[in-house]
Structure 1
Amino acid sequence: MAHPRPQTTDSPQSGKTPVTSADEAREAREAAVEAALRGLDLDAKARLLAGQDMWTLPALPEIGLKSLVMSDGPIGVRGVRWTADDPSVALPSPTALAATWDPELARRAGVLLAQEARRKGVHVLLAPTVNLHRSPLGGRHFEAYSEDPYLTGRIGTGYVRGVQSGGVGTTVKHFVANDAETDRFTVDNLVSERALRELYLAPFEAIVENAHPWGIMTAYNTVNGTTMTEHRYLVNEILRGEWGFDGFNVSDWMAARSTVGAIEGGLDVAMPGPRTVYGEALARAVRDGEAEEAKVDEAVRNVLRLAARVGILEGADPAVTDLPATVDGEALAREIARRSFVLVRNETRDEARDEARDGTPALPLKPGGTVALIGAAARDARVLGGGSATVFPARIVSPLDGLTAALPEGTLTYALGADPNEELAVADQGFELHAVCRAADGTVIGTGSAPNGQIQWMGDDLPEGVTHDRLHTVELTGTFTPRESGPHTFGVKGMGSFTLTIGGTTYYDDVQRPAKDDPFEAFFGAPVPRAQAELTAGEPVEVSLTYVVALPEDIPLKVIGFALCHQEPQRDADELIAEAVEAARAAGTAVVVVATTDRVESEGFDRTDLRLPGRQDDLVRAVAAANPNTVVVVNSGSPVELPWRDEVAAVLLTWFPGQEGGAALADVLTGAHEPGGRLPTTWGSLADAPVTRVVPEDGELPYTEGVFIGYTAWEKEGRTPSYAFGHGLGYTAWEYESIEVTGTAVTVRVRNSGGRAGREVVQVYLAPAEPGAGRPARRLAGFAAVEAAPGERAEAVVELPDRAFEIWDEGTGAWTRVKGAYEVQAGRSAADRRLTAPVEA
C-alpha cells in the first residue's frame, strides 16, 4: 500500500542555493555532517556520544550543534521533566492503537506526538515499542502492539512515518527480543536464528524498510550470549548492513556496560549521562589503542546526521520543512480510543425486562433506559500503563464522567462494587502538595510543586535555586481533604530515610530499603504502608513526608525519586458487592468496569497470573446474577482471564484508553459510534496458553517454542482461546461474498447485511497446503478495512507480500521461498475464516 512521504526538500536559506530534490537535500545534509565531523577533536567526539544528563546530548558550539533532547513516549511526550506540572496529551495504549488495525490512524497519532514534541522542545521520541507479546505474562505488553510481527510492523510503520513527518525523530525499541521484564538487565534470551528473523526482528525490519526511522534503541537483555549494546552481528551486520539503517543507535537507559564492547558493537550513544561508558572513557580507550577512532567517527556521523535531520546542526536544512497541520489532541485521543475498543461478546437483551423486549443485543444501550455503572475504575479511571510510558494529561475523562455527560439526567446511578487497588497509590485525589527543599542547616533553598505527590528529579532538573551540593532534605507538605470518612492509610514509595507526619503526629521515621536490585526501584517499586489515620470526609488535614537526600558518589546519574502514597478506607468487600447488586437489580442495564492496576501491568516486572485483582470476578458474577443485561467493560492493557464471560450479555475491551477514554466509552455504549477494534493478541486462560515462561533459569531464558507464538502456537497445540486473534464485533453484520486472487492481489467482496453503517477489517491469512512440523498452519499476510452503509457492498484489496511465502533457512542463512500450493483465507479473525482461494508460490 502506498503511503504519502513527508516533504524532505530543503528550504532555501540566505546565502545558499535552493535545494530542489530530496536526494540533493540528503546530499547537502551529508556534506554538512562531514564538515562538522572534521571540526571535532577526539574528546569532543567522545563527549557527544555520552548523554550530558538524563535526556540530552551536549551542544558543541564550535560546529554549530545544539543540544539534542530526547523524551519518553509512546502514548505521549513527557518532555525532560517527569511531573504533572508539565501536562501532555495521553493517547490510548499501544495495544489499543494496534487494535484499530489502522496504520493511517497510527500515522495520525504520530503527527500529534510530533506536534507535542515540538511544543516541549523535544527532538527525538523514545518510541515506538515493537517487541512481541510472546507470553501473556509480559508485564509491559500494554506498551507493545501485538503478538503478530506483520501487524506490529504495519502499525509501527504508520507511527514512525507520522512522528517523523513532523520533523521529530523516533527510536524504534527495544532491539531485540526484549519481550519480558524479569531480570531484564541480565537475562540471556536464547533464540534460534529462524525465530529471530521470522518473528522478533521482523517488525524492526519492516519499519526500517518502509518508514526509515532516524533511531533505534538497543535493549538491556542479552541475545544468544551477547548483550544487545555490544551485539555486532545483530546491529552492524543485520540492522546496518543488510537492512541499510542509517540512523543513530542509542542504548536503553543504563544498558551500556563496556566502552570497547559498545563501540565495537555499533552503539552510537550511551544514555543517560554524564557518567557513561563513553565520554572520557571512550577517548581514553582510543588513545590506549583499545578502540579505533574510525568507529568513533562513524558513531558521531550517525549522531550528526540525526541532528541535521531534526534541524539543530548549523549549515544543514532539516529533513522536514513543511510541517503537518495542527492536530486537536483531545479529539484524536477520543477517536483512537473508540476505534480501538473491541466488542468480543454482544448477546440478546433479557426479554423479561420491560426496557428490552425487542430481543436486540445488549449494546448499544437502548435509548431511554436506566443504567447502573459499577466499579472503582469507572470513577478513578486507569488510562495508561505504569513505568516510562507514563505521562501526565491535563485532564482525564473517566467512564463516570463520560456517561454522566452522555445520558439523560436521572438515568445513571453509580456504585463502587469492588476496588482492584489492593495497595497504596500515589497521593492524588484530595491532596494539595508542594515540595520544600532545605540545606543541612534547615534553610529553605527552593520550592517546587508536586501535584500528584511524587518527586522525580533527574540530573540537574531541580527547582530554581536548588543544587545537589546544597540539597539535604526534600519535604512534601500540604493538605489532604478526604472524600470518605474512616481509617486512611499512608505510605512511602522510594528508598532512603523518611519521616511521615499526618495531622501533626509522626507515624514513621526510619530508613526504607529496596526490595530488589533494580536502579529504577524508586520509580517502579511497590509503595510501603507506614501509617493509618482516622479522618473525616471533607475535613482537611496537614500531611508531610520528608526525605533525606543521600546520593552515592559512584552513581552515574543523580536522581531524586520518591512519593507519598495513600489508600482510602477499605470497606467490607461483601458489603460493596451487595450494594452494587442492588443498584444493578434496579436498572435496565448494569455496566461493570473492571481493571488491572499498576502492580499488575507496569514496567520492571512480569505478571504471575492473568486474573483480575481483588474481588472483581466475584462482583461481575453477582451483578450478572441480579441483572442478565450486564455489560462488562475491561480496562486492561493486555489480556486478563474472564471466567464469567458466558454469564454476561456483553464484554467490551477498552485497553488503557487514554485521557478521553470515558468520553469514547460513552460514544460506543450509546451507539453514537460503533466499537472499531479487533484483537491484536489472543485472549485466553493462562492454563491453556501455549507459551508462558518469562522467568530465566541460571540467567538464561530459552525460546523453545521457536516460531510458534500467539495464535500460531494456540493452533499448533490444538487449544481454543477465549477470543481469537483478530476477533471483534461491531454494531452491524457482514456477509463475505467472494474472493479472487490475481497474481499477488487478493480481492475480497463483502456486504453490510446489518441495519447501520459500519467498518469491517478484512483479514487475509496464508496457509501452506502442507505446512509440516516446522511451519505455522497459517499466518496473517495482510488486511484492509472497508466501510459501507446498510445493504452496500465493499471491496477490500490486499497485496500478498513476498515474505508471506518465505522462511528463514538456517542452513543457507537466507530467506527461502517455499514453493508449492497455498490457500488464501479471508475472514474476521484467525479462527473465523469465511472464504478461501488457492494460490501457488
Structure 2
Amino acid sequence: MAGTRTQADAAREAVVEAALARLDLDAKARLLSGQDTWTLPALPEIGLPSLVMSDGPIGVRGVHWTADDPSVALPSPTALAATWDPGLARRAGVLLAQEARRKGVHVLLAPTVNLHRSPLGGRHFEAYSEDPYLTGTIGAGYVNGVQSGGVGTTVKHFVANDAETERFTVNNTVSERALRELYLAPFEIIVENAHPWGIMTAYNTVNGTTMTEHHHLVNEVLRGEWGFDGYNVSDWMAARDTVAAIEGGLDVAMPGPQTVYGEALARAVRDGEVTEAKVDEAVRNVLRIAARVGILEGAEPVVTELPEAVDGAGLAGEIARRSFVLVRNEGALPLRPNGSVALIGAAARDARVLGGGSATVFPDRIVSPLEGLTAALPEGALTYAVGADPNTELGVADKGFELRAVCRDAQGNVIGTGSAPNGQIQWMGDDLPEGVTHDTLHTVELTGTFTPRATGPHTFGIKGIGAFELTIDGTTYYDDVQRPAKEDPFAAFFGAPVPRAQPELTAGEPVEVSLSHVVEFPEDTPMKVIGFMLAHQEPQRDPDELIAEAVEAARDADTAVVVVATTDRVESEGFDRKDLTLPGRQDDLVRAVAAVNPNTVVVVNSGSPVELPWREDVAAVLLSWFPGQEGGAALADVLTGAHEPGGRLPTTWGSLTDAPVSRVVPTDGELPYTEGVFIGYRAWEKEGRVPSYPFGHGLGYTDWTYESAEAEGTTVTVRVRNSGERAGREVVQVYLAPTEADADRPARWLAGFAGVEAGPGETVEAVVGLPRRAFEIWDEKASSWTFVKGSYEIQVGRSIADRRVATTINV
C-alpha cells in the first residue's frame, strides 16, 4: 500500500543490508539513540555521517535556535489547509526541502496531521483541519513536496495527540472506529499517497498504551496493514521503557545523549530481554532513511535531480493571499480606490506571523499590516491607531532591545558570547556559543540596551527555572531563585513569565538591561537544555483612551480596518485554551469603531477559531491566520483587490458554548473521546447547531453559479460558471450523504474537492474522483473496513452548509 518497490529501491536495500551486517550490537544500539538534541551518531565504519533532524512545519530552523541563520517563515498549517490546494502544499514542501538542504538538515519534523477535535486545542494552528480527508490530502501534498527535494519527513504526532493538557501522560480512550475513520485516517492517506520516510510517535497514551510502545498501532496497523517502511522516531523525551519501546516498534529515541536506547538497549539484548533481530529491524529502518536522503555510503539517494529553486518570500506571500478567508463582505472589500483608511490595532504594527513553541523560526524580515498597507496605499491615505493591545501579559523582550548572550565560568571569566535575536535563550544539547561547554558554563547573561517606544512604567519579567538576577538601568530588581509551579519538563519554555520589575522609562532614551542565570542540570535529565526568557510589557495606557483615539481615527476615514489577534499566551504548544475570546479589550474596540464607521473591516490574526460576537455589526471579516513573514504585504494585496482572498475554512468557526466537542482536560489522567466519529462539522450537524461560519465557507471577489453535477461511477463532473465581473478561483466541494438516515453515521462528509479558475462569464468543469474509503465504515466486530452499499446523494457546493447542485448514485 505504501508504494511499489523499484529497482533503485532494491539496490538501496542491498546497501542497507550490507551495512547492517557490518555493525556490532553496540553500534546498532547506539545508532537508535540520539547523540544530542537533533542528530543521530555517525558510524564511520559503514560510511554513515550523522543524520540531522530539524523542527518544522512552517520553516526549517536547523539545529540552532538563533536568528543568525534565518529561515523562511511560511503561513501556519491552518492557513495552508485553508487554500484547499494540495499542489500549493507540495510547492511549500519543495521550498522547505530547499531550506533544509541549505541548513544541512536531512529530516524535517513535520507535518502535524492531528485533528481539530476541540476548538480549545492550543496547538491547532500547527495542524491542518477538523476533517481527516482534507488533512490527509494537504499533508500528502506537503510530504511529496519535501521528499521530492531529497529531504525526509516525519508525519506527526502518531496518534490522537489532539490537545496539549497533560500531553505527556494523558490516556486518550478512543473507539477503534473513531481511530480508524478520524484520527488514523490522515496518516493512512499520507502513507498511501506520499510514502513518507518517517513517522513521529506521540507523548500520549491511547487506550492504555503509551504511543512509543504501541505494538498494535505501530507494528500491526502502520507497518503491517499500511506497509509503512520508514523510520519511527519518538517525540522528544517520549520514550520511557527500553524493552516496551523496541517491542512496540519505536526505532529512534530522541533526544540524546541519555535515552532508553544506546547502552540500555544493548544490555537488554545481552540479558535476553530483547532479541537482536528486533534491534536489527529498527536499525534497518534508520539505515533506509539514511540511504534515501543520500548519506549512506554506496547508496544512491532517492532524489538525484533537485527541483528548481523556489523564491521563498514570493511563495510565502502567495500562500498567505490564497489562505485568507473572507467570511463576510457587505461591499467593503476591495477597498475603495483613493479612499482613506484608518488602520487600527496593536497587531497591525507588531505582526504575529507564527505560533508559539517548537514551530518557531526566525525569518530575516517580517512585513506587518502597517508596513504592507503603507507601501500599497497612496501617501496620506493611511492613518494608524493602536486601539487595543491583545498583549495583556508579558511577552518576550523584542522591539527596542539589542541583546547578546555572555557566558561565564564559575570564577566569572567570560568563556564565550552568542547572539540573541530577542530576550529568549533556548540552547538544547550542544547548541552553545563557540568555546563554551556544559562542564565550564556557570552563568549566562543576557545583556544589552533597551530603547523604549513609550514613556511610563515598563514591566520586566523572567520566564525560567533557577537562580536569576535582573538589573535595569543600574538597579537590581530581582536576585533570587524561581521555581516551577508544576512538574513539567518544558516549563521553562511554555510557562508564563513572572513580573519582577517596573521602572519608569522615557521614550527614545536607551537604558542598560541585564538578566543573569545560573545554569544547573538535574542529574537525571535526558538532555541538557538552557532555556529562559527576559520578558517585557510596555506601559499600559488607559484602554478607554486608546479606544477613544481609534474611534476618532475611524470616524474620519472612508474605511476602518481593525486587526485583532491572539497572543502566544493564548495559542502555543504546551497548553490548551481556556476560552475562545480575543484577549484584552479587542471586542470592545471593534464594537466602538463599527458604531462610528459602517465601513469597518476586521482582520482576524489567529491560528485557529476565536469568537466574533460583533461579526454582524461590521461590513467585512477577513481571517488571516498566522500569515508568515510576508503577511502584511499579502494583506495589502487582498484588501486593495490586487488579489482575491482564496481561502475556505478548514475548520468550523463558532462559539464555545455551541461547540459540540470542547473537553480537553483529563479526569484522573483519562480523556474519553465519547463523541466517537462526531467531531467538527459532523458534530455540529448532528446536534443541529448553527456555527458562526461553517466548514468550507469562504467568499471571493466574484460570484459563481453551479450549473450541474453528473456522476459516472464514482467520478463526479461539476460545471460552474464565473457569474461575476472579475477572474477568480473557486473550491468545488463534494459531500457524500446517505439517502437513508443512519444515526451511527454523519449526515454527510467531505469526499472530494477541486479548485477551478475562470474569467468573467466562463464556464469550467471540476472533475472529482471519490475514493472507495468515502463509502466505507470501520466494523468493530469484524475489525475490518466494510463497504456500505446503497444510495448516496452527491451534494456539491461552496461549503458544508451551502450546497448548490446534487446527483444520486447507487453503489
> TM-score surpassing 0.5?
yes
Residues 1:492 and 2:462 aligned together = yes
3-state SS of the aligned residue for 1:628? coil
Q: Find the counterpart in structure 1 of residue 305 from structure 2.
A: 322
Q: Which runs of 5+ in 2 are unaligned?
A: none
Distance in 2, Cα, partners of 1:515 & 1:752:
58
State the match for 1:110 in structure 2. Answer: 93
Matched, 1:292 2:262: no
1:309-331, Cα deviation, whole Å (9 max, x unpaired): 00110010101001000000000
Alignment partner, residue 294 of structure 2: 311
Question: What's the counterpart of residue 546 of structure 2?
Answer: 576
After superposition, the C-alpha distances for 1:560-611 in whole angstroms (9 at most, x for unaligned) are: 1111111111000000000000000010000000000001000010001000
State the SS of the aligned residue for 1:163: helix
- Residue 511, structure 1, aligned to residue 481, structure 2: yes
- The one of 666, 671, 693 aligned to 2:663: 693
Question: Shift of the alpha carbon at 1:703?
Answer: 0.4
Q: Does 1:67 align with 2:37?
A: no
The separation in 1 between residues aligned to 2:443 and 2:590, in whole angstroms, is 47
Q: 1-side partners of 2:428 and 2:656: how far apart?
A: 39
Report the secondary structure of 1:205's partner residue: helix
Q: Residue 737 of structure 1 aligns with which residue? A: 707
**Does residue 205 of structure 1 match 2:188?**
yes
Q: Cα offset for 1:519?
A: 0.8
> How many Å separate the matches in 2 of 1:459 and 1:695?
32
- Residue type of the alignment partner of 2:119: P
Q: Over residues 689-735 of structure 1, what are the superposed CA-to-partner deviations in whole Å (9 max), with x where a residue is unaligned?
A: 00000011111111000000000100000000000000000000000
- Residue in structure 2 matched with residue 216 of structure 1 by the alignment: 199
Aligned twin of 1:800: 770
Which residue of structure 2 lines up, in the alignment, with residue 641 of structure 1?
Answer: 611
Match of 2:673 among 674, 678, 703: 703
Among 573, 597, 621, which residue is 1:603 paired with?
A: 573
Q: Which residue of 1 aligns with 2:518?
A: 548
Counting only pairs closer than 5 Å after superposition, residues 649-798 of structure 1 correspond to structure 2 as 649-798=619-768
Matching residue of 1:502: 472
Structure 1 stretches of 4+ moved >6 Å: none
Q: Partner of 1:122: helix, strand, or coil?
A: coil
Distance in 1 (CA, whole Å) between partners of 2:279 and 2:405 is 43
Q: 1:251 aligns with which of 228, 234, 245?
A: 234
Paired amino acid for 2:626: F
Counterpart in the other structure of 1:124: 107
Aligned counterpart, 2:75: 92
Q: CA offset at residue 22 of structure 1? A: 7.6
Q: Which amino acid aligns with 1:815?
A: W
Distance, in Å, in 1 between the alignment partners of 2:738 and 2:5 is: 42
User: Which residue of 2 is the match for residue 18 of structure 1?
Assistant: none
Distance in 1 (alpha carbons) for counterparts of 2:681 and 2:5: 42
Structure 2 equivalent of residue 174 of structure 1: 157
* Residue in structure 2 matched with residue 48 of structure 1 by the alignment: 31
Partner of 1:816: 786
CA–CA distance in structure 2, aligned partners of residues 531 and 99 of structure 1: 42
Which among 223, 226, 230 is matched to residue 213 of structure 2?
Answer: 230
- Cα deviation, residue 771, structure 1: 3.3
- Rounded Cα–Cα distance in structure 2 between residues aligned with 1:457 and 1:191: 37
Aligned counterpart for 1:586 among listed residues 547, 556, 567: 556
**3-state SS of 1:591 partner:** strand
Report the CA distance between 1:684 and its aligned residue.
0.2
Give SS of 1:80's match. Answer: coil
| Aligned match of 1:272 | 255
Distance apart, 1:523 and its partner CA: 1.1
CA distance in structure 2 between the aligned counterparts of 1:589 and 1:137, rounded to whole angstroms: 33
Structure 1 distance, partners of 2:463, 2:369, is 28
Q: What aligned pairs does 1:391-402 form with structure 2 within 5 A after superposition?
A: 391-402=361-372
Counterpart selection for 2:499 from 529, 533, 542: 529
Distance across 1 between alignment mates of 2:425 and 2:168? 25
Q: Deviations over 1:417-438 (max 9, x none)?
A: 0000011111111111111111
SS in 2 for 1:189: strand
Which amino acid is 2:54 matched to? S
Distance in 1 separating the partners of 2:253 and 2:171: 21
Shift of 1:516: 2.1
Tell me the distance in 2 between the aligned counterparts of 1:112 and 1:493: 34
- 1: CA distance, partners of 2:166 / 2:723: 51
SS in 2 for 1:780: strand
**SS across alignment from 2:516:** strand
Q: Which residue of 2 aligns with 1:840?
A: 810
Which whole-Å CA distance do the structure 2 matches of 1:473 and 1:153 have between them? 46
Partner of 1:298, secondary structure, is helix
Question: Alignment partner of 2:119: what SS?
Answer: coil
Q: Give RMSD over aligned pairs.
A: 0.8
Q: AA paired with 2:199? A: I
Equivalent-residue separation in structure 1 for 2:156 and 2:30 (angstroms): 24
How much does 1:749 deviate? 0.4
CA distance in 1, matches of 2:778, 2:650: 24
Pairwise CA distance, 1:515 = 2.1
C-alpha separation between the residues in 1 aligned to 2:282 and 2:567? 41
TM-score, normalised via structure 2 length: 0.99
- Give the counterpart letter for 2:462 in structure 1: V
Corresponding residue number in structure 1 for 2:588: 618
Alignment correspondent of 2:224: 241
Number of aligned residue pairs: 809
**Unaligned 5+ runs, structure 1:** 6-20, 348-360
Query: Does the residue aligned with 2:502 lie in a helix, a strand or coil?
Result: strand
**For the residues of structure 1 that align with 2:804 and 2:671, how far apart are their CA atoms?**
39
Residues 344-359 of structure 1 aligned to structure 2 (within 5 Å): 344-347=327-330
Distance in 1 between residues matched to 2:165 and 2:312, nearest whole Å: 35
Matched with 1:10 is none
Q: Which of 321, 325, 339 is matched with 1:338 structurally?
A: 321
- Structure 2 residue aligned with 1:350: none
Secondary structure of the equivalent of 1:26?
Answer: helix
- Name the CA distance, whole Å, in 2 between partners of 1:145 and 1:609: 20
1:262 and 2:245 are equivalent in the alignment? yes
Choose the corresponding residue for 1:194, options 160, 177, 181. 177
Match of 2:429 among 425, 434, 459: 459
Question: Which residue pairs with 1:474 in the alignment?
Answer: 444
Q: SS of 1:765's equivalent? A: strand
CA displacement, residues 229-249 of structure 1 (integer Å, 9 cap, x when unaligned): 000000000000000000000
The letter for the 2-side match of 1:419 is D
SS of equivalent residue, structure 1 residue 138:
coil
Indicate the SS of the match to 2:544.
Answer: helix
Moved more, 124-133 or 562-571: 562-571
* Equivalent in 100, 124, 145 of residue 141 of structure 1: 124
Q: Write the letter of the residue equivalent to 1:729.
A: L
- Displacement of 1:215: 0.1
* Aligned partner of 1:427 among 373, 388, 397: 397
Give 1:256 shift. 0.3
Secondary structure of 2:547's aligned partner: helix
Distance 2:493 2:61 in 1: 15
Aligned letter for 1:643? P
Give the secondary-structure state (helix, strand or coil) at the position aligned to 1:580: helix
Q: Distance in 2 between matches of 1:118 and 1:788?
A: 37
Residues 182, 761 of structure 1: alpha-carbon distance in 2 compared, 3 angstrom cutoff? same
Name the counterpart of 1:11: none
**1:179 alignment partner, SS class:** coil
